[in-house]
Structure 1
Amino acid sequence: MLKKIYLSFSLAVQNIRSRLFHTLLSILGIVIGVAALVTVLSLIDGMEKFAHDQITNTTSLKAVMIETRTYKRVNNVMLEKQDYGYIDFDRFKTFTGAMEIPATGYIEFRQNSEVLLTDSSKVGASVHGVNTIHPTVARIEAGRLFNADELAAKSPVAFVNAIFVKQATGQDSVQSMLGQTITYQDKRVEVIGVLKSEQMEMPKVYLPISLFAVTELKPVPPRVLFEVENVEQVQAFKKQAENWLKVEFPADTTDFAVITNEARVEQAARGFMLFRVVMGLIVGISVVVGGVGVMNVLLISVTERTVEIGVRKATGAKKKDILMQFLAESVTVSLLGSLLGLIVGILATLAIVPIIKALTDVPFQAAYTIDTFLIISVIAIIVGVVFGTYPATRAAKLDPVEAIRRE
């Protein structure tokens, strides 16, 4: 069987070489269709990779966030809850110790308020009660952050961002803020550090969350964030967190939302998959047109080689041998067209990407995945078989006597 297949493809290659120019013209449609498909799929894969990188840079895919729901839905109306569970600093420490999967935990209480300075002036700021801050945020410009000992001892210390310093002192010298005392509600704290600020960032003050009483946290419940070591651990950690919350807060399990950023990636992936399918179907029309060209060249080949077919059948060739020969030729022509289309498509993306970069000013790159090459290979085989079946069947059904008499 394998020998017959090899022989069929060898004859197919010989016949194609004998009419190479005619064959190249007939597969032009496939070349254009496959090139367009490769270009579109590569650009979409590049867009998906760019979107994934952007999501990863802005939100950690290894993060699990726990938020308190202070509202409930009744008859499609959102109503504020009078009582709800929330996580304070002591419960946060218990929470962290109960998790079997290692993770770095952050708890944050946030409220916009006025902060009193030593000269009795006030600065509007976003006040944060934290245990620590994420390394991506901890860009120290002067001084330092408070440490774990100061957090446990409820030390009256704080750090601010550079925008707060400018609002408070009217100057850019961050060193001038170090050692000063600021007051938030009844908490007088010493500024021990200054963070760098983004241009449009608001003034911020960070205090140890241990300074806040449990009752102070209830109006704006703290948000808890855990970051696991590997993305693969996110779902398992989320399940553990949900189980802990059910045990710790049995009265109402709807008080908390456990959120991961995987949903954003999945949503983006679904959007790109839809776009890929739609564009693939549109561009696929060109491939179908190319398949018609293959069928046309094979029908001409059957007409031109009628006597050859008759002689082969008269000398013992069976219908399936003739059928296999022309199907092999069809698949070979389709593979040749797809290969040329693949090369043209890759060259096209190499030319298009610099244009996209120049117009959009983003670090965009086309992506060539194994899926794209597999799709092209499958398309080539399907086109060859589908559009080669009729010419091959027609050749196989020729009567050998009638075929020879046509000479």
Structure 2
Amino acid sequence: MGPLKTLAIATKALAKNKMRAALTVLGVVIGIAAVTTMVSIGQSASALVQGELESFGTNVMIIFPGESKKGGVRSGRVNTLTSDDARAISDECSLIQASSPLVGTGGQVVYGNLNISPNEMFGVGPDYLKVRNWPVEYGSFFDQSQIDKADKVCVIGHTLVNKLFQTSDPLDQTVRINNKPFRVVGILEKKGANMMGEDQDSVILMPYTSVRRTLNGSSFDDVHVVFASAKSSAQVEAAKAEVTQLLLDRHSIDKEVDADFDIKTTNEIADMLGMITGTMTLMLASIAGISLLVGGVGIMNIMLVSVTERTREIGIRMAVGARSRDILMQFLVESILLSCVGGLIGFALGISASIGITTLINSFSTGTDWPIIVSIPAAIVAFLFAAAVGAFFGFYPARRASKLDPIDALRYE
């Protein structure tokens, strides 16, 4: 008996019990839909993380002060980085295109009778925006001469513009930061919310010397963090090694294991977050895949019932010349056909669910734009796995049908 004939007979047999066939494939439908949805949402989250890191700045490395060590013995966490370190990184490292120190602070920004506490209040160097790939939309950024003089100037984000100045022009206006006057010289380009929903435009940047002396009341040269960017993504690791050696020399440290600083690159952060999202996606997809196995058990159960109900039919087919392998193929094709139909329905539901859930997340999260990604490869793999599940769990009932004795089958009531 040819394959097309076998397929036609299997389709006709399943069509006789439409409700039972529909309930049988339900587990496969749920499994395929769940796997497709979980993998798609996971890839969407991964793409969102990548986009956030790209918006943070390209080829960026962040240098943190570490624990002071001598001979491998820790002596406590101290501020080990200075603005001179940041300047030396920019001047002496051939693979670095720009660097900037960063000094953090906090407090109220007041204009007239309005005030706001920005999410970020930083003192930075003149190349900070170059490192962060964040342009000024209006006005200008402060330069090295203003930093050297510790001028009380600032550049603000759009949230501060909207809440403090509303319809008036903020450029050259004076705001009070912790009761100290600062003149607004620029407005940053709008960034929106990050993937955590935090407003990136609620920011004010000032010369790090002004923050350190005027707001923090410190006469020391230490800084909280140093930002630097490599000249290209291919040179990030080499640039990191170059910066590491420079700081070891400047801090009179012989061994890297004793370094009193720690350098993280956006590539390393991206790899770490990618591993986390990838592991979570795989775990969720594996859990969802269990429902495919449950669906396979359901198919085997129904096929065994079908063999019992159609025992006389099997006996008649054998009596008129059907071979054991014809019977085997008939029931095996029925099982695979059930799985494949369930896979196609699950594939469509998975795509719809992926789009729907992503749209729902975007509608409830402020400013966060999750990309809509449908994982076609994952759906195809899940579909093939569903077909394999149908073949695996359908083989035993099919073999049992093919091994029936024709005489006993004809006598079966």
Category of TM-score, reference length = shorter chain: 0.5 to 0.7
Q: Which residue of 1 is the match for residue 236 of structure 2?
A: 234
- 2:16 matched to 1:11? no
Q: Identify the match of residue 23 of structure 1 among 18, 21, 24.
A: 21
CA contact under 8 A between 1:108 and 1:131: conserved in structure 2? no
In 2, Cα distance between equivalents of 1:75 and 1:128: 32
Cα deviation, 1:232-282, whole Å, max 9, x if unaligned, reads 553454355556666886624224422112343344334434443454455
* Aligned-partner SS, 1:87: helix
For residues 159 and 206 of structure 1, do their structure 2 counterparts lie closer, same or farther at Cα, with a shift above 3 Å needed? Answer: farther
Q: Which residue of 1 is the match for residue 32 of structure 2?
A: 34
Q: Which amino acid aligns with 1:238?
A: K
Q: Which residue of 1 is the match for residue 402 of structure 2?
A: 396
- 2:185 matched to 1:194? yes
Q: Which amino acid aligns with 2:229?
A: F
In 2, Cα distance between equivalents of 1:32 and 1:221: 51
CA contact under 8 A between 1:159 and 1:206: conserved in structure 2? no
Q: Which amino acid aligns with 2:340?
A: L
Q: Which amino acid aligns with 1:195?
A: G
Q: CA deviation at 1:202?
A: 4.6
- 2:332 matched to 1:327? yes
Q: Which amino acid aligns with 1:72?
A: K
Q: Identify the match of residue 391 of structure 2 among 385, 388, 397.
A: 385
Q: Which residue of 1 is the match for residue 153 of structure 2?
A: 160
For residues 294 and 109 of structure 1, do their structure 2 counterparts lie closer, same or farther at Cα, with a shift above 3 Å needed? Answer: closer
- 2:263 matched to 1:258? yes
Q: Which residue of 1 is the match for residue 116 of structure 2?
A: none
Q: Which amino acid aligns with 1:14?
A: I
Q: CA deviation at 1:369?
A: 1.2
Cα deviation, 1:336-386, whole Å, max 9, x if unaligned, reads 111012213333444445444443344345421134213422331232123
In 2, Cα distance between equivalents of 1:374 and 1:54: 29
Please give the residue correspondences for 1:198-209 in structure 2 after superposition, counting only pairs within 5 Å.
200-202=202-204, 204-205=206-207
In 1, Cα distance between equivalents of 2:79 and 2:238: 30
* Aligned-partner SS, 1:19: helix
Q: Identify the match of residue 89 of structure 1 among 77, 87, 98.
A: 87
In 2, Cα distance between equivalents of 1:105 and 1:17: 72
In 1, Cα distance between equivalents of 2:338 and 2:288: 20
Q: Which residue of 1 is the match for residue 99 of structure 2?
A: 106
Question: Equivalent pairs: percent with the same residue?
Answer: 25
- 2:295 matched to 1:300? no
Q: Which amino acid aligns with 1:225?
A: A
- 2:62 matched to 1:69? no
In 2, Cα distance between equivalents of 1:395 and 1:35: 32
Q: Identify the match of residue 45 of structure 1 among 33, 43, 59.
A: 43
Q: Which residue of 1 is the match for residue 228 of structure 2?
A: 225
For residues 70 and 29 of structure 1, do their structure 2 counterparts lie closer, same or farther at Cα, with a shift above 3 Å needed? Answer: closer
Cα RMSD between the aligned structures?
4.6
Q: Which residue of 1 is the match for residue 112 of structure 2?
A: none
Larger mean CA deviation between 370-379 and 313-322 belongs to: 313-322
Q: Which amino acid aligns with 2:29?
A: V
Q: CA deviation at 1:331?
A: 1.8
For residues 92 and 19 of structure 1, do their structure 2 counterparts lie closer, same or farther at Cα, with a shift above 3 Å needed? Answer: closer
Please give the residue correspondences for 1:267-286 in structure 2 after superposition, counting only pairs within 5 Å.
267-286=272-291
For residues 81 and 310 of structure 1, do their structure 2 counterparts lie closer, same or farther at Cα, with a shift above 3 Å needed? Answer: same
In 1, Cα distance between equivalents of 2:345 and 2:335: 16
Q: CA deviation at 1:70?
A: 5.6
Q: Which amino acid aligns with 2:264?
A: I
Structure 2 gap segments, 5+ residues each: 107-120, 162-167, 175-181, 189-199, 211-218
CA contact under 8 A between 2:31 and 2:290: conserved in structure 1? yes
Q: Which amino acid aligns with 1:65?
A: I
Please give the residue correspondences for 1:358-377 in structure 2 after superposition, counting only pairs within 5 Å.
358-361=363-366, 362-377=368-383
Q: Which residue of 2 is the match for residue 142 of structure 1?
A: 139
In 2, Cα distance between equivalents of 1:48 and 1:176: 41
Q: Which residue of 1 is the match for residue 195 of structure 2?
A: none
Q: CA deviation at 1:225?
A: 0.5
- 2:281 matched to 1:290? no
In 1, Cα distance between equivalents of 2:99 and 2:83: 18
In 1, Cα distance between equivalents of 2:314 and 2:13: 17
Count of aligned pairs between the two proteins? 354
For residues 192 and 266 of structure 1, do their structure 2 counterparts lie closer, same or farther at Cα, with a shift above 3 Å needed? Answer: same
In 2, Cα distance between equivalents of 1:325 and 1:51: 49
In 2, Cα distance between equivalents of 1:367 and 1:378: 21
* Aligned-partner SS, 2:57: coil
Q: Which residue of 1 is the match for residue 349 of structure 2?
A: 344
For residues 330 and 206 of structure 1, do their structure 2 counterparts lie closer, same or farther at Cα, with a shift above 3 Å needed? Answer: same
In 1, Cα distance between equivalents of 2:291 and 2:104: 59
In 2, Cα distance between equivalents of 1:267 and 1:157: 38
CA contact under 8 A between 1:159 and 1:195: conserved in structure 2? no
Larger mean CA deviation between 217-226 and 253-262 belongs to: 217-226
In 1, Cα distance between equivalents of 2:52 and 2:328: 53
For residues 146 and 353 of structure 1, do their structure 2 counterparts lie closer, same or farther at Cα, with a shift above 3 Å needed? Answer: closer
In 2, Cα distance between equivalents of 1:33 and 1:235: 42
* Aligned-partner SS, 1:374: helix
Q: CA deviation at 1:63?
A: 1.4
In 2, Cα distance between equivalents of 1:9 and 1:44: 40
CA contact under 8 A between 1:314 and 1:400: conserved in structure 2? yes
In 1, Cα distance between equivalents of 2:220 and 2:60: 23
In 2, Cα distance between equivalents of 1:241 and 1:83: 13
Larger mean CA deviation between 350-359 and 76-85 belongs to: 76-85
